[in-house]
Structure 1
Amino acid sequence: MCKVVSKEFKAVVMRNRGHFRDYAELVPKAAQHFLKRAHDIPNSTGVEVSIYEPKRDPTHREGTFFVGCLVNGDAESLPEGMEYIRAGNSYATIRGKVTEMGQLYSELDKWIGEQGYQYGSPEHYILEVYCPVENDTEDVEVYIPIKSS
């Protein structure tokens, strides 16, 4: 089920770049690399997150993405190669199985259009928050920035 929320995310992340078409391979590899160092992060919630620069137009081929984990409070001292991100906005969101990621994005995009919402500006990031589920495949919450009405 899709809905709109106003939310602020705080995360400690590692910055990465790559071609949008390669994200399906690049993001999981970057996340595995990050997880090897996740125990060094102060105030970690243990909840994994991926944060993406939105694709501006068809000619925008390479983007920045971040992999990391949500944290409680501000991060004062960070492990080398990591940075602190604070992202707050109004978001259209949906939750589902991580194995159905493409379908979740399609459903959310369709819903945004049907509801008459407009996408947020390019400086607002798209977020995926990964939620472990007992005895099941991991869930993901997708957050797409929208303009406040």
Structure 2
Amino acid sequence: MMFMCKVVTKDFKIIGMKHKGYFNDYGETVPKAAQQFLEYAKDIPNNTGLEVTVYEPPKQPTQLEGIFLVGMLVNEHNDFVPEGMEYMHIQHSYAVIKGKGTEMGNLYSVLDKWILEQSYDRATPEQYIIEVYHPVQDDVEDVEVYIPLKINE
């Protein structure tokens, strides 16, 4: 399957819940946290219905634990943030790829390779890595993976 990678500048407004976990366990802990979060999602004003996960990249190669946030994209921020949640506004330039949620590992590999081939530099660990999930009727959800880039403006 062919994947298309491109560079975009995005403005994310997110309300979600922060979690801490071992990077090696993210395959289990992130979906579990997202599932639990969905029970509270109805309380989020102005939500777009799109789930999102925000990852704080490791600061050192030896780092075992990381912070991630599971939440919803919102159209605009108002002063109401449900208890136990927080609001994040992230604006940056990203390399992005879209595919099926079941192809997550492959999406990251293809995108990382493309970033190298295009001679871009990743803006990690300073900036967050973001995944946005798009529900698809009767099929596996689509996911967009956003890796932050250093773009000279």
TM-score band, normalised by the shorter chain?
over 0.9
Separation (CA, whole Å) in 2 of partners of 1:42 and 1:123 = 29
Q: How does 1:1-149 map to 2 (within 5 A)?
A: 1-149=4-152
Shift of 1:137: 1.1
CA deviations on 1:109-147 (whole Å, 9 max, x unpaired) are: 000000000010423100000011222210000000000
CA deviations on 1:52-90 (whole Å, 9 max, x unpaired) are: 001233211111000000001113111110000111110
Q: Under a length normalisation based on structure 1, what TM-score does the superposition of the two structures give?
A: 0.97
Separation (CA, whole Å) in 2 of partners of 1:75 and 1:109 = 36
Q: Under a length normalisation based on structure 2, what TM-score does the superposition of the two structures give?
A: 0.94
Separation (CA, whole Å) in 2 of partners of 1:75 and 1:121 = 29
Query: Following superposition, which runs of at least 4 residues in structure 1 exceed 2 angstroms of deviation?
Result: none
Q: CA RMSD in A?
A: 0.9
CA deviations on 1:10-66 (whole Å, 9 max, x unpaired) are: 010100001111100110110011101110011111100000001233211111000
Separation (CA, whole Å) in 1 of partners of 2:63 and 2:52 = 23
Separation (CA, whole Å) in 1 of partners of 2:50 and 2:42 = 12
Between 1:138-147 and 1:73-82, the stretch displaced more is: 73-82
Q: Which amino acid aligns with 1:3?
A: K
SS at match of 1:78: coil
Between 1:72-81 and 1:95-104, the stretch displaced more is: 72-81
Native 8 Å contact 1:53 1:63 kept in 2: yes
Q: What percent of counterpart residues are identical?
A: 60
User: Which sections of structure 2, spanning at least 5 residues, go unmatched?
Assistant: none
Separation (CA, whole Å) in 2 of partners of 1:147 and 1:123 = 10
